[in-house]
Each structure stands twice: as structure tokens, then as C-alpha cells.
Amino acid sequence: QVQVVESGGGLVQAGGSLRLSCAASGSISSINAMGWYRQAPGKLRELVATITRGGSTNYEDSVKGRFTISRDNAKNTVYLQMNSLKPEDTALYYCNVVVVTTSAYRGSYWGQGTQVTVSS
């Protein structure tokens, strides 16, 4: 019913930048929130940044000032601009979307993830 597709990951040197995109599609009535999470091998999946439909944002402390989350509600798309990347940012980045579907179901949907690798 709902598809979530991330893109924009890749390999970058420390100090470089990447821009991740996440597009949600399908039987969506509204999107309440969208966010980015990341998971490194052997580690828990952690929140990176979230944004509500109204534009309220929340960031994990280590990315404040370096990452910026934004959204285009008309396109059901969320972006993560990542600047000043560090090796510790290396992880599989997942997009999560909190959606109310056309059948009035409220659920959380995950993308497949996009790999971000930052070399030292």
C-alpha cells in the first residue's frame, strides 16, 4: 500500500557532503512525520533527524549543525542534507514515514535503506 524509496547514498571522504532523498508513494491520505535513521553493523538503529508535516524538526546531537532535514509535502518527499561528514556517520540510512493511509490506518513504513560510507 505504501512504498518508501531512498536514494543518494554513496562513498564520500571525510568533510564531504551527501544529500539523501526519500519518496513515499501509494495509498496515502496524509503524512504526519518523516525521518531518517541509521544503523551501523553491530549497533542499534538510531534516530538521525525527523520532521513533522508542519516543519518541526528534531536532530540527534551529533549531527546538529551538520545535517539538515527538509521536506516537500506536495511530493511526499523528505531530504537529508549531510555536510561535514565524519567516518562515524558511516551507516545504512533508513527513511521512516508515519502515514495515514486511504483506509484510515496509521502506520510507520520503512524504506530499504541507502548506504553512506565516509572514508577517513
pLDDT for the residue numbered 102:
94
Over the stretch 77-111, which tens digit does the pLDDT of each residue have? 999 999 999 999 999 999 999 999 999 999 999 99
pLDDT for the residue numbered 31:
94
**Across 13-21, average pLDDT:** 98
Over the stretch 23-59, which tens digit does the pLDDT of each residue have? 999 999 999 999 999 999 999 999 999 999 889 999 9
Among 2, 1, 3, 4, smallest CA distance to 78 is for 4
CB of 53 within 8 A of CB of 30?
yes
